[in-house]
């Protein structure tokens, strides 16, 4: 049962939202489970290089689309690790990124983390997320949650604008934040986690069902 701070009206709206998502559950389940297995495998068996490429993907998708981020990840591949700054910027321009100069600089300057990522993803989720937010360029609360979810950490929510719009549509949040800080992110994540619990999935996996509901596909 949802905790009472959501209120009677919100609890009713949660039930309506869950009924909507359940309509696509059987169609989405196989794709969701396949994607989740990929996430867990990357977290357990991924190399430092593979983890860095995934981290770079999460940096790219901020104010961009997951679909385009996946395309960039496939085309640039090890270039996230090997290209010099100018080459990386050109590679991002080629795939049509909106902010090639800024994102290439972030990724280039984040290479110092290579050799430390496997340890980071094995840590407590909250500790790992705080570390990423405080130390990795281009990574905020949403992006750090995205990366950790994509390596099999299921107790985080990716509060994308599409998800936020859905929460607002059902009056589970009053407004969509224009910016994030720790308290703001965690307060909305707490609501998201309760909805996920009612649905019967952990937050990271529930997010995949939401995406299927919204887009008809399971991305990442």
User: For residue 102, what pLDDT band results from cuts at 50, 70 and 90?
Assistant: very high
Give catalytic residue positions.
Answer: 142, 160
Task: Give residue-wise pLDDT tens across range 151-160.
Answer: 999 999 999 9
Task: Give residue-wise pLDDT tens across range 24-72.
Answer: 999 999 999 999 999 999 999 999 999 999 999 999 998 898 899 999 9
* CB 101, CB 89: distance < 8 Å: yes
DSSP string, the chain: ---GGGHHHHHHHHHHHHHHHHTTHHHHHHHHHHHHHHHHHHHHH--HHHHHHHHHHHHHTTTS-HHHHHHHHHHHTTHHHHS-HHHHHHHHHHTT-S-HHHHHHHHHHTGGGTTTHHHHHHS-HHHHHHHHHHHSTT--HHHHHHHHHHTT--S-----HHHHHHHHHTTSSSS--SS--HHHHHHHHHHHHHHHHHHTS-HHHHHHHHHHHHHSS---
Task: Give residue-wise pLDDT tens across range 134-156.
Answer: 999 999 999 999 999 999 999 99
Task: Give residue-wise pLDDT tens across range 83-93.
Answer: 999 999 999 99
Could you give the domains of the chain? 12-40+157-215 (1.10.1670.10), 46-151 (1.10.340.30)
* CB 114, CB 82: distance < 8 Å: no
Q: Is the pLDDT of residue 9 over 50?
A: no
Q: Is the pLDDT of residue 125 over 90?
A: yes
């Amino acid at each position: 049962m949802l905790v009472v701070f959501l209120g009677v009206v919100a609890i009713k709206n949660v039930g309506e939202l869950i009924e909507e998502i359940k309509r696509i559950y059987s169609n989405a389940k196989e794709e969701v489970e396949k994607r989740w297995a990929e996430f867990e495998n990357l977290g357990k068996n991924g190399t430092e290089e593979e983890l860095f490429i995934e981290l770079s993907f999460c940096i790219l998708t901020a104010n961009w689309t997951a679909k385009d981020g996946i395309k960039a990840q496939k085309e640039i591949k090890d270039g996230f690790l090997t290209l010099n700054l100018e080459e990386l910027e050109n590679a991002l321009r080629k795939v049509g990124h909106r902010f090639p100069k800024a994102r290439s600089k972030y990724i280039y300057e984040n290479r110092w983390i290579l050799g430390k990522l496997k340890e980071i993803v094995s840590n407590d989720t909250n500790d790992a997320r705080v570390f990423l937010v405080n130390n990795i360029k281009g990574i905020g609360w949403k992006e750090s949650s995205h990366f950790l979810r994509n390596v099999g950490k299921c107790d985080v929510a990716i509060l994308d604008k599409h998800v936020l719009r859905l929460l607002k549509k059902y009056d589970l949040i009053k407004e969509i934040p224009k910016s994030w800080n720790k308290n703001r992110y965690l307060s909305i994540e707490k609501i998201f986690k309760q909805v996920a619990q009612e649905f019967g999935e952990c937050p990271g996996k529930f997010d995949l069902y939401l995406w299927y509901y919204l887009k008809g596909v399971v991305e990442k």
